[in-house]
Structure 1
Amino acid sequence: MTPDLFKYLITATYVVLVFWLSWVGMRRTRDIRGFSIGNKDMSPYLIGITLAASIASTATFVINPGFVYSHGLSAYLHYGLAGSLGILTAFLVLTRGFLRLGESSRALTIPQWIFYRYNHRGLSLFFAFINLLSITFVVLILVGCSLLVTGLFPVDQKTALILVLVFVFSYVLMGGTYAHAYTNTLQGLMMLAITVILFVQGWKYFGGDPLAALRGVGAGYAGAVNSGSDLYFDFFSVFVSGFVVTFALMLQPHILTKVLYLRSERDIGKFIGTTVVVGTVFTLMLMIGFYARLAGLEVPDQDTVVREYLLFEFGSSVWGEYALVFIFLTLLAAGMSTLDGILVSLSAMVVSDIVQPLWGDRYNALALSRIVLVLVGVIGVILAWNPPPLIGLFAQKGVYGLAAASIVPVLFGVLVRRHIPLWVVLGAAVLGLFCHLGLNLTGLVKNPAVSASYAIFLALGYGLLGLLLTRPKPGIPEPAASPS
């Protein structure tokens, strides 16, 4: 069997398997609740793999190794170490309280959760609209996946963009959350296998001494802090911002709402343990940035480092061409595993938190959520058609802004049991969003993680001051924290 025939047969098998899993999911999707968060009948291990795959995505598997290629150990520590600690801390702090309130209110989305916690429709609408910033991450994934398709098939990037969109939308439209969870489990297992293989296969470039090999590139390249980098140049930009912004990123709709899939609090330990173990393995994909640099590859476009490394490493032999098929399909799966989660959460959010509150139940919610899904995809393709350079930074501008806006309302909503005045949470959200955008878009701070961290600290300071000023006085009853 020729490599070309093998490539098309394996790809067709993967496509058929994904559609079969989506069909199984469609049979279990009967209403907007099932489409959004399932019917509370999924294993916590399955949900944990689904979440880890959603967190890793194209950023970890395709785009972020380019930052490691360009900036060295400091970028690896920023995404791999500080980011992983931020993820673990966020789930340990937030999972139980978020699930408890989500269960009592039967919330389907983050804005709905905000509404039930603070009892204010305007605040939930505000969060519904700013959650549309997640579309910047849709653009990142579409661009990353299209780059991979061009490495696998003889098509141009724009054609690849359409193919990716049509494939993902067709299977998500069928089954919603179940299609997302079942296909993510398959894709997550593929991602685990390929991550380990690529990590082991490329270790030869370290020559037995990783630090010495990195020092051969340059002292700054091998340093925990790279003074020559414009992104990861001090302790704050490498470690503090990596931890803070990743902690806040766990508040994204397609991530934190996975908690609502759980049957009960008894599943939390299994869920978090699975997520952390699988997610830690996924961070090893960042090593490809080192391998590409040590292999002597000159890659002018940072976003294409992974593709160029794989073609260099496996494209010169017959067995390598067979291996490339599995690797590229797995990397595509990494992107799709996040893209489908974002699409499900965005479509459910638009229907539940914008359309229904403003126009009532005159529309069929499940059908409308699928229409919204298509519209989000069309907008994503328009933005990805001529992508900006360094697509990773472009996505971070929007998604980190959402994280900075969400930190106080969600964190305080989980940890503070008493009533929190609207001006405290809304003020913190507005400060977080516009401080990040102001610092980053004006060029005052180039690294979006740093500008978002400054914004998060400002929002937290404002929120804590608000809590201090509104402490209840003894003997005076508090207003209700959520609607009865």
Structure 2
Amino acid sequence: MSPEIFKYLMVGGYALLVYWLSWLGMRRTRSVEGFSIGNKDMSPYLVGITLAASISSTATFVINPGFVYTHGLSAYIHYGVAGSLGILTAFLVLTRGFLRLGEDSAAVTIPQWIYYRYNHRGFSLFFAFINLLSITFVVLILVGCSLLVTGLFPVEQKTALIMVLLFVFSYVLMGGTYAHAYTNSLQGIMMMLVTVVLFVLGFKYFDGDFLGSLNRIGEGYGSIYNPDSNLYFDFFSVFLSGFVVTFALMLQPHILTKVLYLRSEKDIGKFIGTTVAVGSLFMLMLMIGFYARLSGVDVGAQDTVVREYLLHEFSSSLWGEYVLVFIFITLLAAGMSTLDGILVSLSAMVVNDIVHPLAGEKVDGLVMSRWVLVGVGIVGVVLAWNPPPLIGLFAQKGVYGLAAASLVPVLFGVLVRRHIPLWVVAGSAAIGLLLHLGLNLFGGVENPAVSATYAILAALAFGLAGLFLTRNTPNNHPAGV
């Protein structure tokens, strides 16, 4: 069998398997709640793999290795070390309380959770609208996947963009959360296998001397703080911002709402353990940035590092072409595993937290959820049609703004048992969003993680001051953890 025939058979087989899993999901989806968070009958291990695959998608597998390629060890520590610690800390701190309040209120989205916690529809609507910023991550994934498709098939990137969009949207439209969870489990297993293979095969480029190899590229390249980098050059930009922003990113709707898939608090330990173990393995994909630089691959654009490295590494031999097909399909699956999660969360959020509060329950939620998916797809393609040079930074601008706005309301909502005045959390959310965008877009802070961290710290300071000033306020509010 020629590599060309093998390629089409593999792609066709993968597509048929995904559609079959989505059909199974469609049979179990009978309501907008089932479409959004399932029926709470999934294994915590399945949910953990689903979440790890969602967190470690196109950003980790396709885009972020480009930052490591360009900026060196400092970028690896920012995403791989500080980011991993942020993920672990967020789940240890937030999971139990968020699940408890989510179960008490039957919330299926972050804005709905905010409404039940603070009992204010206007604040919930504010969160629903700013959660639309996560569409910037949809754009990142669409662009990343389209780059991979161009390495697999002889098509232009815009054609590849449409192909990716139609495939993912079609299977998510069928099964919602169950399609997302079932397909992510398959994709997560494929991602684990490919991560191990690529990590082992590329380690030869260090020639037994990890730091020495990096320092030969440049003194700053092998340093924890890279003085030559405009993004990762000191403790704040490498460690603190990586930790704080990743902690806050766990509050994204397609991530934290995975907690609501769990049956009960007894599943939390298995869920967190699976997520952290699988997610830590996925972080090894960042090493491709080092491998590409050490192997001398000629890369025209930072976002294409992974594609060019794989073509360089595997396209020169017959067996390599077979391996390359499987790897490209797996990396596509990595992107789709997050894209479908964001789409499910966005559609559920728009229906539950914007359409129903404004138009009433007369709208069929399940039908509307699927129409919203179509709308999100159209907007995503428009934004991805002519993407900015560094799609990773573009996505971070929007998603980190959402994280900066979300941290205080969700963190305080989980950890603080007493009534919290609305002005405390609303003010913190506004400070987080506006200060991040102001610093990044107009204040000369090039790294969105740094601007978001400044914004989060300012929002946290405002929120803590508010809690102190209102410490003697009577607890006459029905919401609480």
State the TM-score bracket (shorter-chain normalisation).
over 0.9
2:192 is aligned to 192
State the 1:483 CA deviation: 8.4
Map 1:336-347 onto structure 2 (within 5 A).
336-347=336-347
Q: Quote the residue 2:439 is aligned against.
A: 439
Conservation of the 8 A alpha-carbon contact between 1:420 and 1:481: no
SS at match of 1:29: coil
Report what 1:282 is aligned to.
Answer: 282
Letter in 1 for 2:468: L
Q: Distance in 2 between matches of 1:194 and 1:265?
A: 33
Q: What pairs up with 1:245-324 in 2 under 5 angstroms?
A: 245-324=245-324
Distance, in Å, in 1 between the alignment partners of 2:294 and 2:124 is: 49
CA displacement at 1:300 relative to structure 2 = 2.5
Q: How far 1:319 moved relative to its partner?
A: 0.6
**Is 1:478 the equivalent of 2:475?**
yes
TM-aligned CA deviation for residue 46 of structure 1: 0.2
Q: Which residue of 2 aligns with 1:454?
A: 454
Task: Tell me the amino acid that sits aligned with residue 174 of structure 2.
Answer: M
Q: Distance in 2 between matches of 1:142 and 1:97?
A: 34
Shift of 1:298: 2.5
Residue 367 in structure 1 maps to residue 378 in structure 2: no
- Could you say what secondary structure the match of 2:297 adopts? coil
- Which residue of 2 is the match for residue 25 of structure 1? 25
Distance across 1 between alignment mates of 2:308 and 2:475: 60
How far did 1:479 drift? 1.6
- Asked whether the 8 Å contact 2:39–2:261 carries over to 1, the reply is yes
Q: Which amino acid aligns with 1:13?
A: G
**2:348 alignment partner in structure 1:** 348
> Aligned in 2, Cα 1:315/1:330: closer, same or farther, shift over 3 Å?
same
Aligned residue identity for 2:57: S
Are the aligned partners of 1:86 and 1:246 in contact in 2 as well (CA < 8 Å)? yes
Contact 2:140 2:392 in 1 (8 A): yes
Gaps of 5+ in 2: none
CA shift for structure 1 position 481: 4.2
Letter in 2 for 1:248: A
Report the identity percentage: 78
Residue 444 of structure 1 deviates from its aligned partner by 1.6
Offset at 1:443? 4.6
Specify the alignment match of 1:63 in structure 2. 63
Large movers: runs of 4+ above 2 Å: none
Matches of 2:365 and 2:242, distance apart in 1: 38
Aligned partners of 2:417 and 2:480 also within 8 Å:
no
Deviations 1:188-241 (A, max 9, x none): 000000000000000000001111100110110000000110000101000000
Distance in structure 2 (CA, Å) of the matches to 1:3 and 1:465:
63
- Which residue identity lines up with residue 131 of structure 1 in the other structure? N
CA distance, structure 1, for counterparts of residue 400 and residue 300 of structure 2: 26
The letter for the 1-side match of 2:198 is: L
Partner of 1:408: 408
**CA apart distance, 1:299:** 1.1
Aligned to 1:394: 394
Q: Report how far residue 21 of structure 1 moved.
A: 0.3
| Residue number in structure 2 paired with 1:227 | 227
Q: For 1:265-287, what per-residue CA distance to the aligned partner results, in whole angstroms no more than 9, with x for missing partners?
A: 00000000000000000000000
Look up the equivalent residue of 2:38 and give its one-letter code.
Answer: G
Cα 1:197/1:483, change in 2 over 3 Å: closer
Q: Which amino acid aligns with 1:162?
A: I
Question: Residue type matched to 1:479 in 2?
Answer: N
- What are the Cα deviations for residues 388-434 of structure 1, in whole angstroms up to 9, with x where unaligned? 01000000000000000000000000000000001000000000000
Which position in structure 1 is the counterpart of 2:183?
183
Amino acid at match of 1:358: L
In 1, distance between residues paired with 2:478 and 2:189? Answer: 42
Worse overlay, 92-101 or 361-370: 361-370
Q: Is the 8 A contact 1:119 1:483 kept in 2?
A: no
Deviation at 1:74, TM superposition (A): 0.2
SS in 1 for 2:298: coil
Q: In the alignment, residue 139 of structure 1 is paired with which amino acid?
A: V
Tell me the equivalent position of 1:119.
119
Amino acid of the structure 1 residue aligned with 2:148: L
SS in 2 for 1:417: coil
Contact 2:432 2:458 (8 Å CA) reproduced: yes
Q: Is the 8 A contact 1:61 1:331 kept in 2?
A: yes
- Name the residue aligned to 1:242: 242
SS at match of 1:478: coil
Which secondary structure does the structure 1 equivalent of 2:57 belong to? helix
Q: Which whole-Å CA distance do the structure 2 matches of 1:369 and 1:235 have between them?
A: 43
Distance 1:479 1:470 in 2: 13
**Which residue is 1:94 aligned to?**
94
Question: Helix, strand or coil: the match of 1:255?
Answer: helix
For residue 482 of structure 1, report the CA deviation from its aligned partner: 1.3
Partner amino acid for 1:58?
Answer: T
- 1:22, 1:478 → 2: CA distance? 46
Deviation at 1:363, TM superposition (A): 1.3
Deviation (angstroms), 1:23: 0.3
- 2:16 pairs with 1:16: yes
- Distance in 1 (CA, whole Å) between partners of 2:351 and 2:231 is 38
Tell me the CA shift for residue 478 of structure 1.
1.4
Are the counterparts in 2 of residues 418 and 481 from structure 1 also a CA contact under 8 Å? no
CA distance in 1, matches of 2:93, 2:342: 23
Paired AA for residue 195 in structure 1: T
Cα deviations across residues 457-476 of structure 1 (Å, max 9, x unaligned)? 00000000000000126xxx
TM-score (norm 2): 0.99
Equivalenced residue count is 481
SS in 2 for 1:40: coil
Structure 2 contact 74–221 (Cα < 8 Å) conserved = yes
- Residues 1:203 and 1:483: Cα distance change in structure 2 (over 3 Å): closer
Task: Find out whether 1:463 has 2:463 as its counterpart.
Answer: yes
The amino acid of 1:388's aligned partner reads P
CA RMSD of aligned residues (A): 0.9
Matched residue SS, 1:406: helix
Q: Distance in 1 between matches of 2:169 and 2:45?
A: 25
Are residue 203 (structure 1) and residue 232 (structure 2) matched? Answer: no
Q: TM-score, normalised by structure 1?
A: 0.99
Once the two structures are TM-superposed, the CA of residue 362 in structure 1 deviates from its matched residue by 1.6
Alignment of 1:324-343 (within 5 A): 324-343=324-343
Q: Is contact 1:60-1:283 (8 Å) kept?
A: yes
Q: Does 1:164 align with 2:164?
A: yes
